[in-house]
Amino acid sequence: MPAPVSIPDLPVGARVEDTFLVWDVEQRTQTDGSPYVILTLANSTGRVKTAPFWSSDLHKVEGVQKGAVVSLIGDLGMYRTDRQLKVTSLRPVPREMVDWPRLLPSVGDVAPWWNSVEKWRGEMADGPWRRVIALFYDDPDFRTQYERCPASLANHHAELGGLLKHTVEVGAIARQISKVCGAVWDLVLAGVLLHDIGKLEAYRWDGLFEMTEAGSLLGHVALGSLMLDRRLDEPEQPMASDGERLLLQHLVLSHHGELEFGSPVRPMTLEAEVLHYADSASAATANLADALKEAANFGAGDSVSKPIWSLDKRRVYRGPS
């Protein structure tokens, strides 16, 4: 199957004939009360909004919902400073015929990220931290899920394989901080590899990236702690002492740093503090890097962006540096 059309590289005026995932459906109203609809279309290369489907064209998108897959024909145009796709023809595609990797954002080959994880694991001293990590990372089913899971639904590393990539970034940052401040690296690494395991139960990625029922009710931080508890209860011989178990649970439960950000407790150990700031640094820098690459954030010829939601409505600068 041919590669999907590259959304960021489409020139204005280009004729587009391809399959897209309907990422969002916005139902709006004109000042005179007439309804109209704008779709956000996506494939593995990016996203683009359609031109409005006005009242006379609403029949073209009747029944189209978020998560649907459509085959369409259209032309890329501009409205003020934003690109938009003027759709002339649109038809639904049965889900059983969908090649999902063409439509969902992805990190691509996950082997380099696994290589980093396995290198770090191989350097761990024999002890409780290494044994506990093996309960997860020696499990083929866990690895299959982990290498597909996004790190977020619409924020940093929101792509297939994003969780694994984010984990390695957190590990690389945390390793350097640990050297500077004297944190126990093996314990920090255990936290790096465990802190987001709850996302495997909190997220769904078979189509749109969505929250599961468990994710909505408990959140990935609590789910991760519960997953850790279940795994530690499985072996007949304990993999860690009660005190060591508490340290691991604390790393998972405190990694967001603040109660208002989803952590039921703030970091209380040096290793938990290192993990929290490494996690935050990976997420924040990934968001800024993505914002700089997103053409829709900038007007034609502008070096300073519009206010960006994912950066708390900050602007970013893409001029020479």
Q: Say what the pLDDT of residue 308 is.
A: 87
pTM for this entry: 0.85
**CATH 2.40.50.140 location in the chain:** 7-101
> Which pLDDT tens digit goes with each residue over 90-106?
999 998 888 888 899 88
CATH class of domain segment(s) 104-289: mainly alpha
Q: Is the dihedral of CA 191, 236, 134, 137 positive or negative?
A: negative
State whether residue 40 is helix, strand or coil: strand
- Cα 37 to Cα 56, 154, 183, 297, distances in angstroms: 11, 21, 53, 22
* Residue-wise pLDDT tens digits, 142-198: 999 999 999 999 889 999 999 999 999 999 999 999 999 999 999 999 999 999 999
CATH superfamily of the domain spanning 7-101:
Nucleic acid-binding proteins (2.40.50.140)
Per-residue pLDDT band for 321 (boundaries 50, 70, 90) equals: low
Specify the pLDDT at position 293.
85
Q: Are the C-beta atoms of residues 163 and 169 closer than 8 Å to each other?
A: no
Residue 9: HSE in the Cβ half-sphere, 13 Å Cα cutoff:
6
Average pLDDT of the chain to the nearest whole number: 93
pLDDT tens track for 290-299: 899 887 788 8
Q: DSSP class of residue 74?
A: E
Confidence at residue 80, expressed as pLDDT on a 0 to 100 scale: 81
Q: Which part of the chain is CATH 1.10.3210?
A: 104-289
